């Protein structure tokens, strides 16, 4: 093993907070990027490492630029590229005038010569050796940075430096808004096994006992809370009770019926969808957002992430589930607003866009459908990996590809 193993960072349960000391305010790493450089962020947001490659001469570009550094062609295409490289040099930062890094010194940086050409500056994983792989991650400002990892599989959330870019639930307190669904119950299991300290689980209409209630209640980390996102008073009271402790919110509560416009008279179903999927998110964000923003740098287990379970139908309307699609599009738009408002505190808003989930409301959808367990696993991975846009499952991936290629064509295909 490595020679410096004795000093290696071990993620330990943080001590209880000293309640008489001031809570540190969140700071962000440098966030300014050119529009071109945001291409790196767009890819990293989905967990991809992409650089520009010249269409004319094949040169890979870094940092992102307007014209090819070799032939001056403007035909630079963002592409997923091989992530292997060699660590040329490393250095330890002991001083920084940047407030974010100043509070996190010492900081290890390195120069990595990529197999695909350019040499890049990267944040170093604790156990990198000569051969590394580069991972594009989002930092606390929501911008892409490059991290150099060892070739073997590692959990970046357990590295002292790279943990700053992740939203790991370990030793954190998680609030899952709906425990009644298969997804909610799988999320609880995943968060518990990932080491979450406490898991609050909402359930609406407490008089309707649901399948899985007893199993949930038995998990030692779990506290069940009556919660109905359509009830402002209830949301306010729950937020008042637990808000100051919540580090990660997973808003998976949704109302889903399979109707378009003509096959359901009136607006009651559509309104119920909006009330949970859109206004529910708004109520929750108004009550919990401010207190989470205040805790963006509250020690090792700070407030760190807000996950919205949206739908791939938020990108383009799926007419057989037309009103549901519209409510998810509204929620997506609001989630972008929430992202903008949470970013100054370094709290990441993770938007999840699953295709049809294998549940009762997608009974008539043909497979493939994403299982609640697979969806919960994708959400956990996104938190640990520093991703903010998640498209889990085959259907979501395929729709995303079609939508990115030609949104109008997808609209026509879906209305066929």
Q: Where do contacts with another protein occur on this chain (CB under 8 A)?
A: 205-209, 228, 230-234, 257, 266, 268-269, 272
CB of 101 to another protein, least distance (A): 39
From the CB of 224, what's the least distance to another protein, in Å?
Answer: 13
Phi-psi region of 345 (alpha: psi -120 to 50; beta: other; left: phi over 0): alpha
- Using the minimum distance from each CB to another protein, give the nearer residue, 221 or 232: 232
Instruction: Give Cα 146 to chain centroid, integer Å.
Output: 17
Cis (ω within 30 of 0) for the bond into 63?
Answer: yes
Residue with Cβ nearer another protein (11 or 272):
272
- Select 119 or 234, whichever has its Cβ closest to another protein: 234
Shortest distance (Å) from residue 175 CB to another protein: 20
**Nearest distance in Å: CB 334, another protein:** 17
Please choose, from the candidates 163, 162, 167, the residue with its C-alpha nearest in 3D space to the C-alpha of residue 148. Answer: 162
Q: Would you call 387 helix, strand, or coil by DSSP?
A: coil
DSSP class of residue 321 equals: G
* Smallest gap from residue 275 Cβ to another protein (A): 9
Cβ nearer to another protein, comparing 128 with 282: 282
DSSP 320: G
**3-class secondary-structure state, position 92:** strand
Q: Using a CB cutoff of 8 Å and minimum separation of 24, what contacts does 397-404 make?
A: 399/312, 399/315, 399/316, 399/355, 400/312, 400/315, 400/353, 403/315, 403/316
Cβ at position 205, least distance to another protein in Å: 7
Residue corresponding to tokens 């409301």: 361
Q: CB-wise, 244 or 272, nearer to another protein?
A: 272
Q: In the numeric block, which tokens belong to residue 378?
A: 């994708």
Q: Which helix (H) or strand (E) holds 40?
A: helix 38-45
């Amino acid at each position: 093993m490595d020679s410096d193993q004795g000093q290696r960072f071990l993620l330990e349960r943080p001590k209880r907070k000293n309640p008489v000391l001031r809570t540190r305010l969140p700071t962000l790493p440098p966030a300014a990027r050119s529009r071109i450089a945001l291409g790196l962020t767009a890819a990293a947001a989905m967990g991809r490492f992409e650089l520009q490659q010249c269409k004319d001469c094949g040169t890979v570009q870094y940092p992102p630029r307007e014209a090819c550094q070799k032939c001056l062609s403007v035909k630079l295409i963002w592409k997923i590229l091989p992530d292997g490289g060699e660590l040329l040099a490393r250095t330890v930062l002991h001083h920084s005038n940047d407030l974010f890094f100043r509070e996190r010194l010492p900081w290890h940086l390195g120069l990595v010569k990529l197999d695909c050409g350019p040499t890049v500056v990267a944040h170093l994983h604790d156990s990198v050796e000569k051969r590394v792989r580069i991972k594009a991650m989002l930092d606390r400002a929501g911008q892409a940075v490059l991290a150099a990892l060892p070739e073997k599989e590692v959990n970046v959330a357990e590295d002292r430096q790279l943990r700053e870019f992740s939203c790991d639930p370990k030793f954190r307190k998680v609030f899952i808004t709906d425990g009644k669904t298969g997804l909610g119950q799988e999320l609880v299991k995943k968060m518990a096994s990932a080491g979450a300290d406490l898991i609050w689980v909402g359930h609406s209409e407490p008089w309707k006992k649901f399948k899985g209630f007893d199993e949930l209640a038995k998990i030692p980390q779990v506290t069940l809370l009556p919660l109905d996102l359509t009830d402002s008073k209830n949301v306010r009271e729950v937020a008042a009770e637990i808000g100051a402790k919540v580090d990660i919110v997973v808003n998976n509560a949704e109302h889903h019926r399979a109707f378009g416009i003509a096959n359901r008279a009136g607006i009651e179903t559509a309104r119920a969808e909006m009330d949970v999927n859109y206004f529910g998110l708004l109520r929750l964000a108004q009550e919990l957002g401010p207190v989470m923003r205040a805790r963006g740098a509250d020690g090792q287990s700070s407030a760190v992430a807000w996950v919205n379970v949206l739908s791939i139908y938020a990108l383009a309307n799926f007419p057989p589930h037309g009103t549901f699609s519209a409510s998810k599009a509204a929620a997506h738009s609001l989630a972008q607003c929430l992202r903008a408002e949470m970013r100054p505190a370094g709290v990441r808003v993770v938007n999840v866009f699953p295709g049809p989930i294998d549940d009762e409301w997608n009974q008539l959808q043909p497979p493939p459908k994403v299982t609640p367990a697979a969806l919960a696993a994708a959400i956990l991975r996104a938190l640990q990996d520093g991703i903010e846009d998640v498209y889990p499952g085959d259907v979501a991936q395929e729709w995303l590809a079609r939508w990115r290629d030609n949104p109008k064509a997808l609209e026509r295909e879906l209305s066929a």
